[in-house]
A and B are shown apart, each in its own frame.
Chain A
């Protein structure tokens, strides 16, 4: 590796003695906002064909040195369309008036650890969402707020529980065993999205002990109000800068920073509520039927009412407590020092009694110029998230509500109490009362997190022709998650237990840090420019989880020390990566043609051979055709090829011994997973082509991308013949292909001073195919589902997401073998964003449509098993029961298509004379009402087609077993700007 460093140093040294332009002149001017005429501070001013750059002051004024002769001055600012003006040799001043950039034509796109390029020139598809778009309607997490707004990305909630638990999938499934979530990078800091199960399943006796805990994925800690922009690197050519952590795409989040100029203070107050959107009905009973089935003991339920009927959802899932969010930001600064301080306090009530989600944040971002050449940027945030997740999903002792509802006849009133105020002892067959469960059982989570980053930019050389800078970046992301669960002895479902009463103390400690050093050299020739960069990056990730579970508690006590049967577990995973990279970017033909190529070489501690450097190349090109579709139009064909990787999961190279304990002695056993000492990263190879355009005087823009990505060298888990004594073995091999089309279209049909209408739509379609399994027979992947109740099944020639199970054959009888019965991947998704602005009033709405995808309705299966389905005795019921009795799942596979009105926001910017009359000294006042998930159209007969009993998984199983029901929210916002 010393050779590589030397090469880097030599490159830098050769370019150092630069020619300095002898003759320069000064151009001054002012930048204002079109319409209002207000000065625009902190806009970026450059001179085309030179490296000169400056920023406007608070007054909107700038001063820049330029070469002699005719030059072109370009002004850019986030959220505004660029301004370009020719300045002849004799002219020394020029003014600009910038228009708002509703279609986001002016954003920049990341091309490397420390390099970017204008979106107009970008050679790969990168989704961009601004912070303003995320916070129109309040969202529990930023992922909720992204839904419907970006193409190529599939975002689905695992349940309706408050506070997150969402899976983001970029360009389809690319793995079976490897990491399946994108890499998250916030202000240059690699950010953990670990999902740490709470341990609820150990109390509710879930079949898959931790997967069914409905855990939060930890990007839920990110405060949407902090976000300035999100860029999603979708394809391998774009994401290959993150090497073998980038196979599932990279989500790059930039937080808000201060701008030079006057101090801005914003205070936002929101109030709202979450309400259940749907409940399930149950079979009606008369006394005779009830007594026949449940015995004479249930006759008393009919004492005062011949046909009692209670919807049990209504007794447990009710409109939430008052939800609120307070956001207060202060930002500002001078040309040399800029700061942003943001605080948030948020409470989302849950619809399940005694559940909810709270988050507090304090962010401090500071930018400081040191001397003329050094810029320092510090980002830091402290988050605290707390969560009460409730008792849902699959269980085996009725401690999960939906499961209990399915087995409780409708004449039972959970809220009934006896003379002394105690809940009636269950006499309806199952030993649980969910209302009592929500009263007494605790499922609490608290996470404290600090994320801090530092970026130092050193301008080593800056001349009219060339510049050299060094960028040092890095940061730390640490969190501690604690789960505290208590299932008290007196709960009806605990009483039959041999050791009643349970408590769980669960901890997750995560520590990520990373740093990188970059050298960036730009050389502007008259006809073309060269941009060379290279660097080194080091990443260290560690996650330690531990859990103490106890049973047979002392009555009334919840401390894990107060039980007699206590078990502790601990797990530590560690990963280290060292990478070297270099890339070259050539801009030709007056910036019309852009060609990029790069290489990344990295080693990682989780690979079998820790000394081997894996190489990830990328190459891409884009050509801008101007004025082809009319004055000011652009058409850009582009093509890219890239490779990324997906690291082995920690531990895959080790064969561990089992350590069962008996008689006070811990024994060793072989069995379980067999390790693979030569394990390597998976490799994604992707070709991407695109055709982007801007037309109709910048009122129409689109991005059209087709891609084909092959994941080879898959991490596969052979299920060896169980007779070998091993349950699993990992190896590399096989191939998955994902191909798809994604499109984004933005248009402003109406653009008048008083009335604007902005419409943006996204389209995402992809299909996967298993092309090779390296000789493996078809197999059930981990967490594929429940035995004969419909499972995902990996088979060559089939989509990764197919479901198999028994079906009805041509003869109407159950097939003897499993056959394909569904597919959990949607055919396509469409998002539609509409923004209307009339004078001071704005209305925005986001629609989200999913077509296709199948879901397994095991909740219905439970009702049928209990004989309590609402349609008991009907033809539809008979059809399902035919399947139920024959082990056929097809009657329980349903269409998961949906159309959801995700967001609506109606806001008014109060006229300034009203604001003055309020007299708080505020500059602006805005009030708005908003709602999320207000309307849903679905074919699915269950609660919500967006559900995953087994949580986030590489291959989503769309399994509905008594999940936390969905909710809709309404908020009233009041915002003051000072």
Chain B
């Protein structure tokens, strides 16, 4: 370019020396032609950064990005699944859907009912891209590649697990790792989707086991104690166990109970050091740092936004001293004033993510992902279903006593299944309230949606979320769409 230009100008001068206008014209045109038209986008890195032989440092960034994407939807899950399952309400009153569509219906697949979808698949796209990038990375050892793969597969399985839960009978696409121009992946049933997620957890396990001693990237907050392939395996098994229990109940997978037992055993479950050790586990490590993800639920006690559903207050079992279950009194607190909106009155605020004692908001509060407390409850459920009912009662009591300050249950190995399940679900609700919509999921798993409280005539309990309108549109299906329809 430079050579040609110089030559042209010289030629032009000779030819047009006596005609200043013509000289100016040609000079100016050449000036313009030399301007660089290949204007780059200086606002952010482009996709080529990851696809053209990425360095270890770039891949480490991609791994951190994948971690941040697990944080994206948890606030929405707590709120929406919590409202669906009557764990709580949003009574701020700025969006009619929170006391309308989500409690009364009809569900809008173009809005709230179609949520917790795009973000999950966005994360899955990032993870798939990261996995592909590992294959042509430069500067990574084979063990580091395996470790990266195992990490990515574990998170990917988690996202598929969430998607399968949200959608239930509508089905979800699984085979999505194709170019954007490919036709949309087929919808598969909840059972098949969960089975695919299980397989991903298992693949992750295998890769982590071949992954050497360290990960080739850093971890964000919340993973303390699980940041090497050897310890991350325990996290992988904990999540795998949770999924297997869901498969056993949602999808009538009888074999899953035994597999779940194996997975729990390989997880970080422990019964020593209780009650402190109940909170051992992996968290979504929110932070108040500028530009980062702050805890999405925490708020001042005076705020009119979040309230515990009154049934959590009235339904709490009493301790020997007559006081309610410790899990209620530590996770909830009376609001300074009752709040009524559209005939719903909230009196108790969720404070599990506020500072203790002062109950001031705490943007740094972590949200449990999976903890020892949940694992013990999962094991109780598994044991009840694998002919170890005494063990199940014993596990249940570990939680009742250590977390709730309650007396051991009066149930025995001889009690009816339904009585055990009622007690199990009670403890799961109070141990896991406002973490992942446990009450809603459990009621669905055990066909107990009808037992959830109805507060106003005409209200309903939604059985699942819907496939978003855009997903139906892209498939040329009428909204709302579902597998086989």
Contact = CB atoms under 8 A, between A and B. Distances in A.
Contacts of B25: 5, 470, 517, 519, 536
Contacts of B62: 667-669
10 contacts: A571-B43, A578-B35, A603-B37, A657-B44, A658-B65, A663-B220, A667-B67, A720-B180, A722-B121, A777-B475
A36 interface: no
B220 A665 contact: yes
B358 interface: no
B473 interface: yes
B476 A777 contact: yes
3 cross-chain pairs, A with B, having the tightest CB-CB distances, nearest first: A725-B125, A667-B65, A787-B111
A60 to B, nearest CB: 35
A570 interface: yes
Contacts of B69: 660, 669, 671
B61 A666 contact: yes
Contact of B184 (A515, A675, A721): A721
A564 B20 CA distance: 61
Contact of A674 (B180, B287, B288, B289): B180
Interface stretch (A212-220, A604-612, A633-641): A604-612
A716 to B, nearest CB: 13
Given A662-B220, A724-B176, A787-B110, A610 B38 contact: yes
B47 interface: yes
Interface of B: 8, 21-22, 24-26, 28-29, 32-33, 35, 37-39, 41-47, 49-50, 58, 61-69, 71, 93-96, 100-101, 104, 106, 108, 110-112, 117-118, 121-126, 128-129, 172-173, 176, 178, 180, 184-185, 218-221, 285, 287-294, 298-300, 302-304, 338, 340-341, 361, 363, 468-471, 473-476, 478-479
B359 to A, nearest CB: 12
A722 B117 contact: yes
A661 B288 CA distance: 12
Interface string A372-409: 00000000000000000000000011100000000100
A572 B43 contact: yes
Contacts of B474: 719-722, 777
A429 B93 contact: yes
Given A656-B46, A671-B125, A721 B292 contact: no
A: contact size bracket: 35 or more
Given A667-B65, A670-B126, A788-B108, A5 B26 contact: yes
Interface string A798-836: 000000000000000010111000000000000000000
Interface in A1-35: 1-2, 5, 9
Contacts of A515: 28
A663 B285 contact: yes
A605 B33 CA distance: 12
Contacts of B22: 9
Contacts of A495: 302
B290 A565 contact: yes
A672 interface: yes
A398 B94 contact: yes
A171 B68 CA distance: 46
Chain B CB within 10 Å, residue with most, of A575, A656, A723: A723
Given A429-B304, A817-B478, 14 more contacts: A1-B33, A496-B302, A564-B290, A662-B220, A663-B221, A668-B58, A670-B125, A671-B69, A721-B474, A722-B468, A722-B470, A724-B178, A725-B123, A788-B110
A727 interface: yes
A679 to B, nearest CB: 13
Contacts of A750: none
A659 B44 contact: yes
A726 interface: yes
Nearest to B49: A657
B292 A663 contact: yes
Interface in A780-798: 780, 786-788, 791
Interface string A62-104: 0000000000000000000000000000000000000000000
Given A5-B25, A498-B298, A565-B290, A576 B180 contact: no
B292 A1 contact: no
Given A663-B220, A725-B122, A817-B478, A610 B58 contact: no
Chain B CB within 10 Å, residue with most, of A398, A656, A668, A780: A668
Contacts of B111: 786-788
Contacts of B28: 515, 517, 536, 538
Contacts of A842: none
B32 A655 contact: no
Contact of A725 (B64, B121, B299): B121
Given A578-B33, A662-B68, A726-B125, A667 B63 contact: yes
A887 interface: yes
Contacts of A665: 61, 64, 218, 220
B64 A662 contact: yes
A430 interface: yes
Chain B CB within 10 Å, residue with most, of A430, A460, A670: A670
Nearest to A775: B476
Given A1-B33, A656-B46, A725-B176, A498 B300 contact: yes
B290 A567 contact: yes
Contacts of A780: 110, 469-470
A810 B485 CA distance: 24
B125 A655 contact: no
A779 B173 CA distance: 20
A540 B32 CA distance: 10
B327 to A, nearest CB: 24
B101 A604 contact: no
Contacts of B123: 669, 671, 725
